[in-house]
């Protein structure tokens, strides 16, 4: 791989492929579920990290590993600052633009813009909040809260810890 762009040094701890087997999902309007997820952060030498995220369902389909949620995005850092942007597309038909901060080995992001297909299912997602935190050298954690057109303020949807696999 080409050398990591200097601007991305504060995010170097995210690089790699991470796999979580014990994800827990909930929301006031749905049944609790569990899920597996693989998330990968890589780069091509540009000042952005490429995020690939594949999740597998969940309660009844947990064992079959049926693909469910998928995301592809770019994490950018405002050079010389701790300010971050995530430009992310989700296979459920939404586009997420989030901003936030990196503090040590933790990232906090909140959406300021969510784009949506005209034929998306209700309720609409109206806000997404994410944190990524390095728990130890081999363990990454992601927690997601969201707000929808039917439920505000933001509430918990997802928590998962991943182990580094590559």
Kindly list the residues in this chain that would bind ligand HEM in the complex (CB under 6 A).
Answer: 25, 27, 29-30, 33, 35, 55, 57-58, 68-69, 123, 125, 128, 144, 146, 148, 150, 157-158
Least spacing, CB of residue 48 vs ligand HEM, in Å: 19
Q: What is the Cα–Cα distance from 161 to 134, expressed in whole angstroms?
A: 9
- C-alpha span between 31 and 71 (Å, rounded): 22
Task: Give least dist CB 20 to ligand HEM, A.
Answer: 10
Residue number, 139 or 155, with CB nearest to ligand HEM: 155
- Judged by beta carbon, residue 49 or residue 109, the one nearer ligand HEM is 109
Find where tokens 């942007």 sit.
85
Structure tokens at 50: 């490429």
Q: In the complex, what is the shortest distance from the CB of residue 43 to ligand HEM, in angstroms, rounded to a whole number?
A: 22
Query: Which of 41, 50, 46, 39 shows the shortest CA–CA distance to 15?
Result: 41
């Amino acid at each position: 791989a080409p050398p990591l762009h200097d601007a991305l040094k504060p995010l170097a701890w995210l690089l790699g492929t991470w796999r979580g087997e014990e994800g827990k999902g909930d929301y006031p309007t749905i049944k609790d579920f569990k899920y597996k997820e693989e998330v990968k952060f890589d780069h091509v030498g540009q000042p952005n990290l490429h995020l690939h995220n594949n999740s597998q369902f969940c309660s009844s389909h947990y064992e079959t590993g049926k693909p469910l949620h998928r995301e592809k995005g770019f994490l950018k850092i405002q050079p010389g600052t701790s300010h971050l942007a995530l430009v992310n597309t989700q296979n459920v038909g939404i586009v997420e633009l989030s901003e936030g901060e990196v503090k040590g080995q933790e990232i906090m992001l909140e959406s300021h813009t969510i784009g949506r297909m005209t034929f998306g299912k209700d309720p609409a997602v109206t806000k997404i909040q994410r944190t990524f935190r390095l728990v130890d050298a081999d363990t990454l954690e992601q927690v997601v809260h969201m707000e929808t057109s039917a439920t505000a303020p933001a509430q918990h949807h997802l928590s998962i810890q991943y182990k580094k696999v590559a």
